[in-house]
Structure 1
Amino acid sequence: MTTVDVRLDHLAIAQQWAADPTSWPVAPRFNASERWYHRLAETSDYEVWLLTWLPGQGTDLHDHGGSAGAFHVLSGSLTEDTIAVSPDRAPRITARELGEGAGRRFGTRHIHRMTNRSNQPAISIHAYGPALTTMTRYRIGASGLDVVAIERAGAQW
């Protein structure tokens, strides 16, 4: 069982990194074929990632393998679809658009997908604690939420 230090404010960490792009080891890049991402920092308590999103780019439904976290939209706009799962009902999707300067914290059992549904590029900063070790990819099937794959850090990303 992974333990999470609830004293860490992942959103504050993401905002702190967003406020100082001169401290980043790389500049943001955009890739026409897929989302671009780069880890900015890793400590014993958390890690920070820089992500770029061209219009239409996004993730599949996924969790963060037991890590809590947060993201901050540095520029552009992203839509987060969160999934609520109940044993007696079909999974429910709730969409939330987050524009420049917006951010959000999430817990260790959070399942979502992120998409740039705007017509402008977007840049976001994500912080996770503890550092990601796995991510589970999901799809909504006839029986509810189905696991598609479990990806391991260092092997699949």
Structure 2
Amino acid sequence: MTVAALRLDLDPLALAQRYAADPRAWPVAPRFDAAERWYHRLAAADDHEVWLLTWLPGQGTDLHDHGGSAGAFQVFSGTLTEDTVSLSPSGPPRITARELGEGAGRRFGSRHIHRITNRSNRPAISIHAYAPALRSMTRYRIGASGLDVVTVERAGAQW
């Protein structure tokens, strides 16, 4: 089955894995940018989208959600660390780190808050899939009162 013939009822991790398994079908070759993470949308529809991302050592995201979309990512090469936020009604937010190496994947639900960073000394490439397609992303920071909203970005305006 080619990437173009994917069934839309696949979960986001299966979608990311399918794209990771066929890099010859990617419409662009991965690029690396010393100033910031590089990304390119590989596929888009109302009910899903797929992104190709590259990460040089030290590059990463801030804490964010996916605006109500569920998602997944698959590490194509290198190693990435995902920090997930757990909220507690009686205490401060808790951060849990998970390292994912080449071939590892991770799915997450629509309320997931995380950041991804390349903490290794090698470049990394990953495939990210979201269902439905991203409409917004909220960026957060951990402050004195807990998890604070920094900004809400909208598809078509900020990316």
Which of 84, 87, 96 aligns to 2:86? It is 84
Which of 26, 42, 52 aligns to 2:28? It is 26
Q: Which amino acid aligns with 2:85?
A: I
Partner of 1:130: 132
Q: Which amino acid aligns with 2:30?
A: P
* Structure 1 segments (4+ residues) deviating >2 Å: none
* Equivalent-residue separation in structure 1 for 2:50 and 2:66 (angstroms): 13
Partner of 2:17: 15
| Offset, 1:22 | 1.2
Partner of 1:54: 56
Residue 35 of structure 1 pairs with residue 37 of structure 2 = yes
Task: Identify unmatched segments of 5+ residues in structure 1.
Answer: 1-6
Secondary structure in 1 matching 2:17:
helix
Percent of aligned pairs sharing the same letter = 80
What are the superposed Cα offsets for residues 55-76 of structure 1, whole Å, 9 maximum, x if unpaired? 0000000000000000000000
* Equivalent-residue separation in structure 1 for 2:125 and 2:42 (angstroms): 13
| Offset, 1:88 | 1.1
Partner of 1:142: 144
Task: Identify unmatched segments of 5+ residues in structure 2.
Answer: 1-8
Number of corresponding residues: 151
Q: Which stretch shows the higher mean deviation, 19-28 or 70-79?
A: 19-28
Secondary structure in 1 matching 2:152:
strand
Task: Name the Cα RMSD after superposition.
Answer: 0.7
Secondary structure in 2 matching 1:73:
strand
TM-score by length of 1: 0.94
